[in-house]
Amino acid sequence: MIRALYTAASGMSAQQLNLDTIANNLANSGTTGFRQLRLQFQDMVYQNLVTPGAAESQSTVSAGLQIGLGTKSAATEVINTQGPLNETDNPLDVAIEGQGFFQIQRPDGTIAYTRAGQFQLNGQGMMTTADGDPLVPQITIPPNATAITITKYGVVNATLPGQQNPAQLGQIQLATFPNPGGLENMGGNYLTATYSSGDPLLGNPGGQEGVGTLEQNYLENSNVDVVTEFVQMVMAQRAYESNSKVISAANDMYSEVNKMAQ
C-alpha cells in the first residue's frame, strides 16, 4: 500500500503542473502571437515482481508481474499552429502567415524571436517592439513619410514629399528553426534559440526558405482554443480527484491494519 500512496501522489503532482499549464494558456488567450503549450506525461519506473519472459520451472512466463510507480511530467509541447489574424488600422502591425519569426535585438545584443508584430517607432524612427527593442535588420522610417507599406514579401516602402514613387526603406527577414518547439520562452513575447531548436534559418518572406509571408495591418492572435482548454481543465481536475481518492482508500486500508494490531 506504500506504493499506492506514492503512485497516487505522483499523479496529483503531475496534474497540478498540467493545471498550471492550462492556466497559463487561458491567461494568454489574448496575447498576440502566443503559442499554446501542452504538458506531456511519462510513466515512471516499474517494479518487476516477475520479469516477463523469465523461466519458471519448466515453462516461460509470458506476461510477468509488474507494478507501475506512477507518472511524471516529461516536457512542455509547443503547439505551432497558425493563430487567427485580426485586422487593425495600424500600418506598423504585421502578421506572419507561415512558420517564421521576427528577429529582435535585445539590449544585451542577443537576438530574440517573436511572432508578435506590434511594431512602433522610437525617437530615431526605427521600427521597434513595445519594449523599444529594434527589429533586425533595422529599418528606419523618415519622419516626413506620409504613407508606409509593407508587402507580403517583407519590402518596406514609404511615400516621401516631392517623390512620385515610393522609396524602399528596407527588407524584413524572418527566421525559422529545425525544431521550433525547442525554443525557450523568455516572457515579453520573446523566444530564444537553444541547442534543441537548432540554429536559425534566415530568409525573406515568400522565398524558398519557407518562412511564410507578411500581412500588413493585421496581428496574429493567440492560437489557444479556450473551449479545448476548459475541457482539458475539467479532465485534469477529475484526474486529480481520482488520485486523491486512491490516497484516501490507501489510508483507510492502513487504518484497518492498525485496528487489527490493537
Written in H, E and C, the secondary structure of 202-251 is: EECCCCCCCCCEEEECEEECCCCCHHHHHHHHHHHHHHHHHHHHHHHHHH
- The answer to whether residues 156 and 233 belong to one domain is no
Q: How many Cβ atoms from other residues are within 10 Å of residue 21's Cβ?
A: 19
Q: Are residues 213 and 240 in the same domain?
A: no
Which whole number is the average pLDDT over 248-252?
87
Same domain, 178 and 110: yes
Render pLDDT for 167-202 as a digit per residue (tens, 0 to 9).
999 999 999 999 998 999 999 999 999 999 999 999
Amino acid 174: pLDDT: 97
Span 122-154, pLDDT tens digits: 999 999 999 999 999 999 999 999 899 999 999
Residues 90 and 151 in one domain: yes
Kindly indicate the confidence band of residue 56, based on its pLDDT and cuts at 50, 70 and 90: low
Instruction: Tell me the three cell numbers of residue 140.
Output: 528606419
Alpha helix locations (H) across the chain?
Answer: 2-27, 226-261
Is the separation of the CB atoms in 1 and 254 below 8 Å?
Answer: yes
Q: Is the domain of 89 the same as that of 216? A: yes
Number of domains in the chain: 2
Question: Distance of CA 158 to CAs 126, 147, 155, Å?
Answer: 13, 5, 10
Residue 173 has what pLDDT? 96
CB burial of 130-162 (b: ≥16 within 10 Å; e: otherwise) equals eeebbbbeebbbeeebeebebbeebbbbbebee
Q: Which residue has the cell 517607432?
A: 121
Q: Within this chain, do residues 111 and 181 fall inside the same structural domain, yes or no?
A: yes
CA dist 202 → 145, 177, 179, 211 (Å): 29, 9, 14, 8
% residues pLDDT > 70 (the chain): 94
Question: Residue 116 sits in which domain range?
Answer: 85-220
The Cα–Cα gap between 34 and 45 comes to: 35
Q: Does residue 196 share a domain with residue 231? A: no
**Predicted local distance difference test score (pLDDT) of residue 46:** 83
Q: Locate cell 497540478: which residue?
A: 16
Q: How far is CA 209 from the centre of its chain?
A: 22
Place of cell 490516497: 247
Mean pLDDT of the chain: 90
Task: Give, in degrees to the nearest 5, the angle at Cα 175 between 171 and 180.
Answer: 160
Residue range 41-46: mean pLDDT, rounded: 89
User: Do 48 and 12 sit in the same domain of this protein?
Assistant: yes
Q: How far is CA 242 from CA 47, 109, 229, 254, in A?
A: 22, 49, 20, 19
Domain match, 172 and 159 both:
yes
Contact 97, 171 (CB under 8 A): no
Cβ burial 39-61 (10 Å sphere, 16+ → b, else e): beeeeeeeeeeeeeeeeeeeeee
Same domain (yes/no): 33, 140: no
Least confident of 69-73, 83-87, 160-164, 209-213: 160-164
Same domain, 165 and 101: yes
Q: Is the model's pLDDT at 70 over the cut of 60?
A: yes
Q: Are residues 170 and 104 in the same domain?
A: yes
Name the grid cell of 150: 509593407
